[in-house]
Structure 1
């Protein structure tokens, strides 16, 4: 069973990791790099996807840790 996708998002002057659909953040970090590292750990443990947002809030990168089909479709 897959866990919730994890989002790395701007959080004031910091960066946060937030599970999809959660109103509260899981953790707050001083740098985006630290937030990505923590978000990646959570996504790997849950077999979910990590979505990294830029400063403008738009998704700029995705990193999947779930059960992707092989070969990929498309």
Structure 2
């Protein structure tokens, strides 16, 4: 896993998103679905992998979001 990847993890009574390499959680949510949606947005914005953990801490799924290209930057 690369530094900067976003992990959705169980956090107390709710769920949180943590950026790999960071020391604190980025945001929290009361439900996994809510946290997962926020984590997906973060990963898309950063062009990194979103790792969703199960309640027991094991990895449930991974989604990679390549950094989107600005059409103004493409040649042609």
Cα deviation, 1:4-40, whole Å, max 9, x if unaligned, reads: 1000000011000000122200000000000010000
Task: Show structure 1 runs of 5+ residues with no match.
Answer: 68-74
2:56 is aligned with 1:49: no
2:71 maps to which residue? none
Bigger relative contact order, structure 1 or 2 (CA pairs below 8 A, ≥6 apart): 1
1:5 maps to which residue? 5
| CA distance in structure 2 between the aligned counterparts of 1:64 and 1:41, rounded to whole angstroms | 12
2:22 maps to which residue? 22
TM-score by length of 2: 0.81
Task: Show structure 2 runs of 5+ residues with no match.
Answer: 68-76
| CA distance in structure 2 between the aligned counterparts of 1:14 and 1:34, rounded to whole angstroms | 10
Q: For residue 66 of structure 1, report the CA deviation from its aligned partner.
A: 2.0
| CA distance in structure 2 between the aligned counterparts of 1:47 and 1:55, rounded to whole angstroms | 25
Q: CA RMSD in A?
A: 1.3
- Flag the structure with larger Rg: 2
Matched residue count: 65
